[in-house]
Structure 1
Amino acid sequence: MQSATPSPFELLLVDRAALVEAELRRVLSTAPLLGELARPAHLMAAARHGVLNGGKRLRPFLVIESAALFDVDAATSRRVAAALECVHCYSLIHDDLPAMDDDDLRRGQPTVHKAFDEATAILAGDGLLTLAFDLLADEALGVSPKQQLALVSALARAAGFGGMVGGQALDLAAEKDAPDESGIIALQAMKTGALIRFGCEAGAILGGGSTEDRERLHAFGAAIGLAFQLADDILDITADGATMGKKTGKDAAAGKATLAGLHGIDWARQQLAGLVNQAESLLEPYGERGAVLKAAARFVAERKS
């Protein structure tokens, strides 16, 4: 929570998170789907531990609200939102492993490899990544094959070598060889920004938006993705572990270069303000319909955890 009394936006964020979590609980049950022989109970328990453990569900929120710009059916956007969250949570499970970021806590709870074991954590992440594309390819999604193909392609690229996975590789390499400013920006645009950009662009794909709509929402996602990372860098320096639900100060301890560390917190906060203005201006063509996404941009920049 950002304040003692939640704002209307925070209440909306909680509401959308609850809808997405209900969908995630449904798709992460132990009951096998058509074509599956079985779903091992311990593996599904590990997957649920890594997914159903709170969190703001910002990326799914962006799918739902970007789709709302085009009057997309809520059940359809929730399913795509759940697919995106499966990819995000798989990445967190794997990032927490000893060979990666080596974290014991995630959202105030033991990470999956601590609550279960490393092999189970790896397999749970593998299963979540695969499930995401199952959800997008399922004809029950209720959109055209062309739209499904666009969603699958966009998410695969956002999650893959040129997106989140590539960004994580660059992040690990940065512990040994600190990148310059352009390298930091590229790393963060891939590791953190790629899935956020997909979350925004997915609404235009689902809504049959124009190429301009897709490009506009992609640019909006790029702006708030960078803002999200800048805010995260500031919190890693200024916040305490209890507030964040995970260790803080890890970037500096690991020798990782960040924009906030390179230029200072005051500079980072000025950049945040500029990114919010940029994000809001990109939504002007949507008028009042863009109000919720504008609020999301401000929330990303001002969050305290």
Structure 2
Amino acid sequence: MRYAVLQGGKRMRPLVIIAACEAVGGTAEAALPACCALEMVHAYSLVHDDLPAMDNDLERRGQPTVHVAFGHAGGILIGDALLSQAFMALMRGADGVPPANLVAAARVLAHHSGVDGMVGGQALDLALGQDAHDLTALEQVHALKTGALYAAAGALGALYAGADADTVRSLETWGLKFGIAFQHADDVLDDDQKALRTQALARVDELVGECDAIAAPLGDRAEPLRAISKWVRDRAHAAAAGVKAD
């Protein structure tokens, strides 16, 4: 489990949680349980995606994938264990968070990681493949497979800051839009979905603009959110221009 989680990565989902939490008056320290929980869910999804029955990837970040290092059965069990441990982490060290917000956090994480979110998106992605010709269908996959966990990140950050329901929904929407833009940028970076490249880049600009509009009422405290959305826009356009820096 440690091997699966601690091999590196950008940690973008925890960064969004912290930025969302701080944007509504919370602290990075308060958000850490949610950060750990969401990163465990993300790690479990990668462990299972890498299995021979799915993407059959043998390396991740320059290291053997979990099922290569620990066997196929180990990969399945490690992923299962990380998903269970995520909900333990979500509740750990959450002093000062209103009990109703903790209940809502568990519901948000379960919703966005399950059939109505990431798992459903993976199923659609397997069916659609890498030659989509309809932007709406592609964005449905992106919204579920990638956007869902970013939507969870926005909501969890707000919940662990003690925010009200309207604020939680607003930052959940920010996360969803950011997540779709993030996946469009990844497609450009990985040279995937070539038929929709021009439309995808235009959508990145549109989605980032919508993210910034959501963040605007939060003032200076939302500057990290604006910096994160700018990063994904710059990343997409740099990749389109042939600059593949990650």
Contiguous gaps of at least 5 residues in structure 2: 236-244
The equivalent of 2:114 in structure 1 is: 160
Structure 1 residue 268 corresponds to structure 2 residue 222 = no
Aligned-CA RMSD value = 1.8
Identity rate, percent = 42
Mapped contact 1:97–1:103 kept (Cα < 8 A): yes
Structure 2 counterpart of 1:69: 23
For residue 141 of structure 1, give the secondary structure of its aligned residue in structure 2. Answer: coil
Aligned residue among 200, 205, 225 for 1:293? 225
C-alpha separation in 2, matches of 1:302 and 1:103: 28
User: Deviation of residue 149 (structure 1)?
Assistant: 0.6
TM-score under structure 1 length normalisation:
0.73
**Residues 269 and 236 of structure 1: CA distance in aligned 2, closer, same or farther (over 3 Å):** same
Q: Deviations over 1:167-221 (max 9, x none)?
A: 1111112239967432221111000000001101112212222332122212211
Given candidates 178, 196, 217, the residue that maps to 2:150 is 196
The match for 1:141 is: 94
Deviations 1:89-143 (A, max 9, x none): 00001001110111112122211111221111111111110001112234x3212
Residues 60 and 81 in structure 1, CA contact (< 8 A), matched pair in contact too: yes
Residue aligned with 1:189, SS: helix
Higher relative contact order (CA 8 A, sep 6+): 2
Within 1, Cα distance between the matches of 2:130 and 2:186?
A: 21
2:36, 2:90 within 8 Å by CA — same for their partners in 1? Answer: no
Match in the other structure for 1:48: 2
Structure 2: how far apart are the matches of 1:176 and 1:269? 17
Residue of structure 2 equivalent to 1:128: 82
Q: Which residue of 1 aligns with 2:168?
A: 214
Offset of residue 270 of structure 1: 2.6
> What residue ranges of structure 1 are gaps of 5+ in the alignment?
1-46, 238-250, 252-257
Q: What CA distance in whole angstroms lies between the structure 2 residues aligned with 1:202 and 1:155?
A: 8
Q: For this pair of structures, how many residues does the alignment match?
A: 236
Q: Within 1, Cα distance between the matches of 2:130 and 2:37?
A: 34
Aligned to 2:240: none
For the Cα contact (< 8 Å) 1:63–1:77, is it kept in 2?
Answer: yes
Give, in whole Å, the separation in 2 of the partners of 1:97 and 1:112. Answer: 9
AA of the residue aligned to 2:222: G
Task: Classify the secondary structure of the residue corresponding to 1:283.
Answer: helix
Q: What letter is aligned with 2:109?
A: L
Verify the 8 A CA contact 2:151 2:175 in the aligned structure 1: yes
